[in-house]
Structure 1
């Protein structure tokens, strides 16, 4: 009997050790969105375990909220309710993926039908996402989306005026009507969201702007981004402003733009020689940064977080980098911005325009973070991704994954055998 008892105890210990290994593996696997497990109780580090993540004392996964249940992960309840405007956009899908991975109850707003957000459904456990139709011109529908959310994230933005044909009574009986202007998407809507957050006493608001935001920029979009920031802060002074540089990723309008232009035209224009600089940041790094702000939003109230990549490039360098990967051979032409605008005036009437006059203005100036690396280190008012424990990913590590589809043969050129 004693031998059987000892064998049973040994099996129990082995099972406990196996469970601990599985939990440790889960922590390692989810390290992108979770913080490392705490040190052992007898460890000297346990007395200062608030500092193990970054200089901002970010919360660890073991620091639980009052309503939090579960071990962490998508099947848990993070004890948070987050409303997301602009969830169906480029950055939105990555932010939602992080929220779903952390078990956050998310209210997703959409101005379109179910097809616009169905790709987001798989990012959440059943019942952890609610989809709400709203109109940016209907304040009550936007209030319905916010509902009882603890945090509101505004990702709404448009880099061009959306247009549609409408009937007219005079020849040629058709006219292009602006449905949503740059100013409405980047100024009016953020202001309305901030006003609602104040009226409904939402705990925190995260507003995503742009590093290009500048009241004196030649780009209407960049000026609108700056005005949007000011309107948000005027209505909701403790909002957190996130300023990313040009984002790259699978659905981007940066590297994909060069590849798509080479697919459609024999000549790709470099605005003013492509000498303007940009410091692109991976969209997933920006999403991780936003999700870390969601983890402990009080630390970032009224602050700005700048997101940027590890290196700057000229647009000419980015073009050559793209074509080295894709094998495309367009003619790169140095064209003055005023000349490029002639073609952009025609292309802007496409449903999703590849080029508009305002985009030409934006590509003619530098698109960089406000400060240098030394400048950020010398001040404490503005945070960066590094302060939040997110290390910037080089563009070379990501670009090939989605650009090699533009090669002759596409994805299959690297596969051997029958295909």
Structure 2
């Protein structure tokens, strides 16, 4: 089926944007997810019949093959931020990526795109980043012309970084600065990332490329915490925590991860030992014809939910001042 792309993990935070832009480009999209009943709204992102939702699990070969049947391209967005049960880094980032690539090769797909992460490195102290690099290598072993996308932390409505710390600030008098808060990040807007991934699928020139995707500005972890507090109107202590102490807190998070999403894991502490910014050695958004969206332009559009008074907080403050006058 010409111009049909299968998007694994397509109902998630990033996947929703990628599917939207692929549909705008005129492609038919098959969204492959573990639980299709939770992804029924995906069909609303395109024209009638343009987007379908199917069940697939990257640990199950036959389900991958069914999801890829008749497709000409594949986009794999499946990843986990921490290990829990069978959803381990090795199983998802390496074996899952390999399973998709092997099935795609056997079924004759012409394009495969693998989402990795900025900082992916086989020598990283972080298992998350090591397995991301191993996943890239596994895919490229099967598809030398596969496209690899390495985004920095991603921001936008529903993100897992800014919402997490904004929520933490609502209940805690302290926000931790792991390693002193000097790790640098280059946050990329989820809309830009989704559009970039769509370009990688549809553009022949992307074949074999590795793209590092970051936003227009670099921030330290401390600066990001300060910006969150400014947007939410919170006053909280920013407490520097040395890496050895943070590692102990991460071990507590490791235990918690079996039951609830942890505030931090030991592997996430290890990842914070390295900056998360583009190296300049690979193409990025500019080479895809995209201009990065600034953090300042987007954060206020959703972090208002954490302010006292919500989106009307500023208006209420102005009215109170007017009343005093």
Scaled by the length of structure 2, the TM-score of the pair is: 0.92
Distance 1:329 1:121 in 2: 42
Out of 244-253 and 274-283, give the one that drifted further: 244-253
Distance 1:148 1:341 in 2: 47
Greater length-normalized contact order (CA 8 Å, ≥ 6 residues apart): 2
Partner of 2:289: 389
Aligned: 1:157 with 2:79: yes
Equivalent residue in structure 2 for 1:103, among 26, 36, 44: 26
What's the counterpart of residue 94 of structure 1? 17
Detail structure 1 runs of 4+ shifted over 4 Å in the superposition.
414-417
Alignment-derived partner of residue 94 in structure 2 = 187
Change (3 A) 1:317 1:406: same
| Separation (CA, whole Å) in 2 of partners of 1:294 and 1:137 | 23
Work out which of the two has the higher radius of gyration on C-alpha atoms and give 1 or 2: 1
- Which secondary structure state, in structure 2, belongs to the residue aligned with residue 136 of structure 1? coil
Give deviations 1:289-324, integer Å, cap 9, x for gaps.
Answer: 11122332x212111122111111100011001101
Deviates more, 1:277-286 or 1:118-127: 118-127
Residue of 185, 199, 205 corresponding to 1:299: 205
Candidates 355, 359, 365, aligned match of 2:264: 355
How far apart are the structure 2 equivalents of 1:295 and 1:415?
Answer: 45
Tell me the distance in 1 between the aligned counterparts of 2:49 and 2:179: 51
Gaps of 5+ in 1: 1-66, 68-78, 163-177, 377-381
Q: Partner of 2:82: helix, strand, or coil? A: coil
Q: Which residue of 2 aligns with 1:146?
A: 68
Cα shift at 1:119: 3.2
Is residue 211–residue 370 contact of structure 1 (8 Å, CA) maintained in 2?
Answer: no
Bigger shift: residues 395-404 or 347-356:
347-356
1:40-93 deviation per Cα after TM superposition (whole angstroms, max 9, x unaligned): xxxxxxxxxxxxxxxxxxxxxxxxxxx9xxxxxxxxxxx510100011222101
Q: Please, which moves more after superposition, 136-145 or 121-130?
A: 121-130
Which residue in 1 is equivalent to 2:193? 286
SS in structure 1 opposite 2:193? helix
2:45 equivalent to 1:119: no
Deviations along 1:120-168, one digit per CA (max 9) or x if unpaired, are: 2221222111211122222011100011111100111111112xxxxxx
Which whole-Å CA distance do the structure 2 matches of 1:313 and 1:301 have between them? 31
Specify every segment of 5 or more residues in structure 2 that has no aligned partner in the other structure, as ranges.
320-325
Alpha-carbon distance in structure 1 between the residues aligned to 2:181 and 2:148: 29
Cα distance in 1 between the residues matched to 2:137 and 2:195: 25
Moved more, 187-196 or 329-338: 329-338
1:193-208 → structure 2 map (5 Å cutoff): 193-208=100-115
Change (3 A) 1:86 1:338: same
Aligned pairs for 1:52-71 within 5 A: none
Is the CA contact 2:175–2:237 (under 8 Å) kept in the aligned structure 1? yes
Range that drifts further, 304-313 or 197-206: 304-313
The answer on whether the counterparts of 1:103 and 1:125 sit within 8 Å (CA) in structure 2 is: no
Q: What residue is the counterpart of 1:134 in the other structure? A: 56
| Structure 1 stretch displaced more, 146-155 or 339-348 | 339-348
What pairs up with 1:216-235 in 2 under 5 angstroms? Answer: 216-235=123-142
Could you give the per-residue CA deviations for residues 88-122 of structure 1, whole angstroms, max 9, x where no partner exists? 2221011011122233211111112412x133222
CA contact (8 A) 2:75 2:201 kept: no
